[in-house]
């Protein structure tokens, strides 16, 4: 039997609440594995969530061949570890490119010392920077209790090009076309508006609009 598709949670720093996060995202199956089910208006996808807490565990997992890891999420304690993480050889030594970096420090995104150097790096590498305790989407955040940033993580997961998804035959997709056309016009206007903004303000504005666009595409069934 081929390995089940998996998403790997790598706790770069000690994160005591990882079990609480797992209990919100997924459910245990008969074997005791945590299964995270993505379910949007286009497809469903079941992923086994695997957690490692140090580089040795990560190396052993990658060499075991027992799991088909399609995605890696890094959990990091922002203010204490941003510099260490980006200066480490982690990103160069691992073939599985992380899709998201989850900052679990208890502060708002505006207070997190995630400066332009790191936001630019994440943008170039197509890595989502996610504050676990903050999100711009209050509607989605209510589903995730004390970890509202998981809303953004789920949105990003829904947009990934997964293998072996179960596609839906959804008649409503055709009805969404006119709504999508209107939304594209809104994005065009937003693009023109942000052209005159300072660089950092422009990045934040663009991220907010992109998040709303992704929610429109994938999270409303």
C-alpha closest to that of 150 among 46, 12, 22: 22
Rounded CA gap, 120 and 125, in Å? 9
Rounded CA gap, 135 and 209, in Å? 13
C-alpha closest to that of 70 among 12, 144, 2: 2
pLDDT of residue 94: 60
For 99-130, the pLDDT digits (tens) are 788 888 766 555 555 566 677 777 777 788 88
pLDDT of residue 49: 95
pLDDT of residue 29: 92
pLDDT of residue 133: 84
pLDDT of residue 9: 92
Query: How many CB atoms are located within 10 Å of the residue 96 CB?
Result: 13
> Positive or negative, the Cα torsion across 76, 78, 83, 86?
positive
Q: What is the greatest pairwise CA distance in the chain?
A: 55
Whether the CB-CB separation of 101 and 128 falls below 8 Å is answered with yes
pLDDT of residue 36: 95
pLDDT of residue 46: 94
pLDDT of residue 83: 67
Rounded CA gap, 41 and 58, in Å? 34
pLDDT of residue 206: 74
Segments of the chain with pLDDT less than 50: none
């Amino acid at each position: 039997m081929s390995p089940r598709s998996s998403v790997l949670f790598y706790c770069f720093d000690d994160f005591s609440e990882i079990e609480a996060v797992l209990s919100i995202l997924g459910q245990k199956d008969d074997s005791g594995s945590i299964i995270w089910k993505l379910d949007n208006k286009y497809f469903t996808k079941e992923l086994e969530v695997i957690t490692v807490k140090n580089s040795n565990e990560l190396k052993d997992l990658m060499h075991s061949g027992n799991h088909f890891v399609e995605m890696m999420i890094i959990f990091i304690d922002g203010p204490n570890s941003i510099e260490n993480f980006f200066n480490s050889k982690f990103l160069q030594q691992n073939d599985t490119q992380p899709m998201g970096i989850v900052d679990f420090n208890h502060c708002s995104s505006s207070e997190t010392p995630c400066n332009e150097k790191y936001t630019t790096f994440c943008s170039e590498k197509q890595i989502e920077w996610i504050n676990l305790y903050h999100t711009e989407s209050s509607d989605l955040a209510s589903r995730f209790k004390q970890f509202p940033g998981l809303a953004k993580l789920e949105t990003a997961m829904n947009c990934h090009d997964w293998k072996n998804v179960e596609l839906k035959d959804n008649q409503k997709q055709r009805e969404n076309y006119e709504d999508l056309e209107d939304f594209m016009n809104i994005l065009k206007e937003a693009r023109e508006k942000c052209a005159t903004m300072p660089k950092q303000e422009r990045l934040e504005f663009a991220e907010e609009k992109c998040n709303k666009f992704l929610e429109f595409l994938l999270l409303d069934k």
